[in-house]
Copies of this chain bind each other. A is one copy, B any other.
């Protein structure tokens, strides 16, 4: 799984690095560090200096690439969204019930990039304040997810794979809620909780509810 957040440098000359991780650019490193820190200490709890230190710069150095903190926040959010979306799209490509079945594996994806995981819930809660700079972003993310899942269910109904009387709206919001909630719990349950297994079980029950 590629988690690179950097500019993928198109110049071929010095290194060919086929298939390997592209070399980190400073900008990419900064965004990576920001995602990690925002995700673990919140936006307000993360200082530019802390991010800078992580990539071996001073705060002035970071500010050179991102004139203000909000710009950095936006960049981190966008990057996170992009990654998430890209993977989702691949995963759900078949559409309909099959797509939902595929989401069973989503848990393992999450476990591999915990920074992104926490970034999202942290953003979700910070966005509660109506004047937060991330509110719009979060709201849109929820909207998109909801529409996506409702669409999948609709597709399944059309294809005759899913029972038509299913309450797609409720299922979509319940799924998202469960996924958010379980990720949150993960941070508080030492090793007791296997996110992967737990998520798989939810999907098993879900498919059972939906399938004809």
Contact = CB atoms under 8 A, between A and B. Distances in A.
Interface of A: 39-42, 44-45, 118, 121-122, 124-130, 138-139, 142, 167, 170, 173-174, 176-182, 184-185, 187-189, 193, 198, 201-202, 205, 209
Contacts of A201: 167, 170, 174
A184 B174 CA distance: 11
B185 A173 contact: yes
A41 B178 contact: no
B178 A193 contact: no
B139 A128 contact: no
B188 A177 contact: no
Give the number of times this chain occurs in the complex, counting copies.
4
Given A122-B125, A125-B125, A182 B174 contact: yes
Nearest to A121: B125
A139 B188 contact: yes
A67 B185 CA distance: 32
Contact of A128 (B122, B138, B174, B178): B122
Contacts of A193: 173
25 contacts: A44-B44, A45-B129, A118-B128, A121-B125, A121-B128, A121-B184, A122-B125, A122-B128, A124-B188, A127-B188, A128-B187, A139-B188, A142-B185, A142-B188, A142-B189, A170-B198, A174-B198, A176-B181, A177-B177, A177-B178, A177-B180, A178-B178, A181-B181, A181-B184, A205-B209
A122 B123 CA distance: 11
Contacts of A42: 42, 44, 125-126, 129
Contacts of A173: 182, 185, 189, 193, 198
A125 B184 contact: yes
Contacts of A44: 42, 44-45
A41 B188 CA distance: 22
A42, A170, A179, most chain B CB atoms within 10 A: A42
